[in-house]
Chain A
Amino acid sequence: MRLTAELALDQIRGNRKRSAGAIMATALSAALLTAVMCFASSGYRMLENFLGPGLGEYAGAYLILLVIPSVFLGLLIVFMSITVISNIYESSTVKRLGEFGVLKCVGATGRQIRETVIFESLWISIIAVPLGLIAGTVIGFIGVEIAGRYIAYFNELSKSIVMRPVSFELGFHVTPATYVFSAVFSMLVVLASAAKPAARSGKITAIECIKGIHLNLIKNVKVKENPVIEKLFGYEGTLGSANISRNRIAYRSTVRALALSIMLIMLAGSFKNQAHNAMNWMSSMGNAMLVDYASIMDEGVNEQTGKDESVIVKPISYDTAQEITEKLRAYKEDLDIIGVGSDRVTYRSIADDSIMSSEFLTHSGIMDEHGEIKTELLTADEKTYVMLCGMAGVPVGSNILINYYVYNDNGRIKELEPFTGDVKEIELIDSSNVEKKLSIDGILYKDQLPSNGFESLAPDPVRIIVPSGNMRGFTWYSDPADDASFTQYARSVMDEYYPILTEDSYVEQGYTVRISRADQMIKVMNIAIILGEIVLSGLIIMLMFMGFASVISTLSANIRIRQREFAVLKSVGMTNRALEKMVFSESAICSIKGCLGGIIWGIVLPYAINLSVRKVFPVRYELPALSLLFGVLTVLGLVILITRVEIGKMRGQNIVEDIRENLC
């Protein structure tokens, strides 16, 4: 065995506590990477089972869906792991300066010194990486099992809504590649973590080691007495403050680990807040019982105009919709049913400055590249339509414009009236550029609309209620007392018109029928958010543990490494109580610095993520005050606990022995 490898092995054997810390951190890093890989390979298998080998036509898109979160989480883990593990090697090299000095004096080259540090990391990896692979498999298995249950729940829920089996099945699946990739990546993380301390150690000269390199790391910065610190901790606080200001490198690791821990707690809090706000927004449409018919669309591009074109494969006619409405109403005499049909794909409106409000025209993103605006044509069952005509003060047979638009303005829900009050006509255009003028006979405003059927999470800016027409979909809203009985009844009604002929795919039939309460449908939509929240929170908690491990290791190493200094202070008259005050003041200053850094990053990072989230959901960044408080208290509690434990250990130490120790 090479001498440098032997020296590294001796180092590991001789410093069991530190080695155990390095093994734990490395194993945790490898475990997290393995867990992510388990998720990725299980997810791939799930998609393959659903879409067929090679993931079918849209393999690229699905792979991106799988790869992007895996890479994001992987990078987060790698960053955290390198920070934590390099802290351990940095404190290890500081502790071994004397040894490096001796090695240099007897002729070791810088390369050989570097090798001892690198070999130390490789020895650690040999033990830690297999442990990490095993632990990661267990974590991955538990995670996939939990996610699998949610997906099974999603399947059940979907099945109850669409009456077809949904064959998404997430089972735990790993391949040799999962482990090879995790192991190689973990080794690279460890090598990257040890590289900087190794490079620094290699550069140290023999004389620096003999003199004590820590002296060279101390910078002579002017330290002003801080009245607050002086008031809180007395002169001992000033001493602590001078230590931290002049020996920043020694405290940098602790401050960084503290900051990362707080940042992760705040990140988890922000994810939770944003996910909940998004789900609340989706649940804001009420909880009516929905009987919903939707035709599939044949999407393509119009060859003549080059415009996107969607053809409704099986539109529902007004007469059919009316018949179904009557049959559904027959369920119970007093059951109020509102039926609303919708077609959002056939027409667009040509923008006309003279009839559109200035607020609407200045709203960005309203018009497409052809100067056209998304338009939804709506129909309603006869009774509802008559009622709407009455509200608008127009005769039956009229076209009614809904002058109300709600939209997501970069995370905020905004409402506006798109048109001026005197709209008489709107010009519609289809994908073939055939224009059609539609007279507007009346206008309905927000307060005049019924609560069901005319509200939408993301409505089109132009919505016109027409007396009749073929629609892409039709939804009947009601609130029956007995959901199960009504569902059964409604299913029988819908089966008359739109029977479910195949269990495999609604694509072949050209339509889908869903019967469910709105909240059940929302749950299906929310399942991805919930899953994402669970997986992310789980990983963040794991990373937080790594951060805590780093805080514990660096803080206790910082105190232990200074035993001689503490003994000197005692020998010149510092009492135990004064020494405790000094160490506590240092811990407090580190905590404040860590908290400040962590809070800043804990705000900046989720805020940056929210900038993308708010494009999709009307969810703004909110300061996760509770997480912040929890983070600060947890970190402070941890720091106080470690400091107390280390001070307790110091009490029994002999000053004489400590003063004689570590002399270069």
Chain B
Amino acid sequence: MAILEVKDLTKKYGMGDGEVVAVDHISFSVEKGEFVAITGASGSGKSTLMNMIGGIDAPTSGEVTVDGRCISSMSEDELAIFRRRNLGMIYQFYNLIPTLTAEENIVLPWRLDGRKKNDEKVKEILSVLGLSERAGHLPGQMSGGQQQRVSIGRALINDPAFILADEPTGNLDSRTSGEIIDLLKYTNEKLGQTILLITHDEKIALSADRIITIGDGRIIRDEVMKR
């Protein structure tokens, strides 16, 4: 069953002679439990694609369907509610709220949804992420790797349909990058979490089960890795 379906998705910037097509009629689907890497050179349209899949940027044309629901026609607030319930986003620069502790950042989507705190689940996630000792620390008091783990925790808290990770290792050293990818693989394999990883690093892309390569806004390769 496809958890994500992208149909004929296009994103254009500017008009007339200055028009730039960042994403050009892309279509693909992702099955539940898959670990998909979207790779390509800088400026190939990876992040634009991710932002449209995540519902934080509107496509010029085409459709994105997540878990059977078309998000392209949703209003901004509907999208916000959809994101916090169905998607987990991980960014290159962590994007944590600087005034909230690790634990508070992790439970943010949950609390925004008006749900009560589930201490056991938070503890479990903190433990999986190796952050139990850092639960009360502010982002400014943690290393880059720890901050990225917090953002993974924030992405996992609502058991989303899939996690969108945009260059999650782009700001980290190779050892920490490896730890983050291992963590994502762990959630994929042990928790059955669907993951869509965007990276320009081919080595990291190789960790995925499937690699979609994008160039000039189009899919130029879609290959399933054999283990």
A binding-site residues for B, Cβ under 8 Å: 211-212, 214-216, 218, 220, 234-235, 238-239, 242-243, 246-247, 564-565, 568-578, 654-656, 659, 663
30 of the cross-chain contacts (CB-CB < 8 Å) are A212-B98, A215-B139, A220-B101, A220-B136, A220-B138, A235-B114, A243-B99, A246-B99, A246-B138, A247-B99, A564-B95, A565-B98, A569-B97, A569-B112, A570-B80, A571-B54, A571-B89, A571-B95, A572-B83, A573-B80, A573-B109, A574-B80, A574-B112, A575-B80, A575-B81, A578-B80, A578-B112, A654-B57, A656-B51, A659-B91
B binding-site residues for A, Cβ under 8 Å: 51, 54, 56-57, 76-77, 80-85, 89, 91, 93, 95-101, 104, 108-109, 111-114, 136-141, 154
Contact: B113 with A573, CB < 8 Å? yes
In the complex, A216 Cα to B142 Cα: how many Å? 11
Q: How far is the CB of B42 from chain A (nearest CB, A)?
A: 14
**Beta-carbon nearest neighbor of B92 in chain A:** A663
Contact: A565 with B57, CB < 8 Å? no
Contact: B77 with A571, CB < 8 Å? no
Contact: B76 with A576, CB < 8 Å? yes
Contact: B84 with A239, CB < 8 Å? no
**Beta-carbon nearest neighbor of B137 in chain A:** A220
Contact: B77 with A577, CB < 8 Å? yes
**Beta-carbon nearest neighbor of B56 in chain A:** A655
Residues of the A chain whose Cβ atoms lie less than 8 Å from the Cβ of B101? 220
Residues of the B chain whose Cβ atoms lie less than 8 Å from the Cβ of A211? 140
Also in contact, A573 and B85, with CB within 8 A (given A235-B111, A235-B112, A243-B99): yes
**Beta-carbon nearest neighbor of B80 in chain A:** A575
**Beta-carbon nearest neighbor of A250 in chain B:** B99
**Beta-carbon nearest neighbor of A242 in chain B:** B99
Residues of the B chain whose Cβ atoms lie less than 8 Å from the Cβ of A578? 80, 112
Contact: B100 with A242, CB < 8 Å? yes
Residues of the A chain whose Cβ atoms lie less than 8 Å from the Cβ of B140? 211-212, 215-216, 218
Residues of the B chain whose Cβ atoms lie less than 8 Å from the Cβ of A571? 54, 56, 83, 89, 95
Residues of the A chain whose Cβ atoms lie less than 8 Å from the Cβ of B85? 573
In the complex, A216 Cα to B141 Cα: how many Å? 8
Q: How far is the CB of A242 from chain B (nearest CB, A)?
A: 6
Across the A-B interface, give the 4 residue pairs with the lowest CB-CB distance, nearest first. Answer: A573-B84, A215-B140, A575-B77, A568-B95
Q: How far is the CB of B98 from chain A (nearest CB, A)?
A: 5
In the complex, A388 Cα to B18 Cα: how many Å? 105
Residues of the B chain whose Cβ atoms lie less than 8 Å from the Cβ of A234? 114
Q: How far is the CB of A272 from chain B (nearest CB, A)?
A: 42
Residues of the B chain whose Cβ atoms lie less than 8 Å from the Cβ of A659? 56, 91, 95
Also in contact, A568 and B97, with CB within 8 A (given A242-B104, A577-B77): yes
Known: A216-B140, A220-B141; 15 extra A-B contacts, CB below 8 A, are: A215-B138, A220-B138, A235-B112, A238-B111, A246-B99, A572-B83, A572-B89, A572-B108, A572-B154, A573-B84, A578-B80, A654-B57, A656-B57, A659-B56, A659-B91
In the complex, A654 Cα to B48 Cα: how many Å? 13
Residues of the A chain whose Cβ atoms lie less than 8 Å from the Cβ of B104? 242
**Beta-carbon nearest neighbor of A664 in chain B:** B93
**Beta-carbon nearest neighbor of A208 in chain B:** B140
Residues of the A chain whose Cβ atoms lie less than 8 Å from the Cβ of B96? 568
In the complex, A5 Cα to B59 Cα: how many Å? 45
Residues of the B chain whose Cβ atoms lie less than 8 Å from the Cβ of A575? 76-77, 80-81
In the complex, A539 Cα to B109 Cα: how many Å? 50
Q: How far is the CB of B141 from chain A (nearest CB, A)?
A: 7
**Beta-carbon nearest neighbor of A655 in chain B:** B56
In the complex, A572 Cα to B150 Cα: how many Å? 13
In the complex, A573 Cα to B76 Cα: how many Å? 10
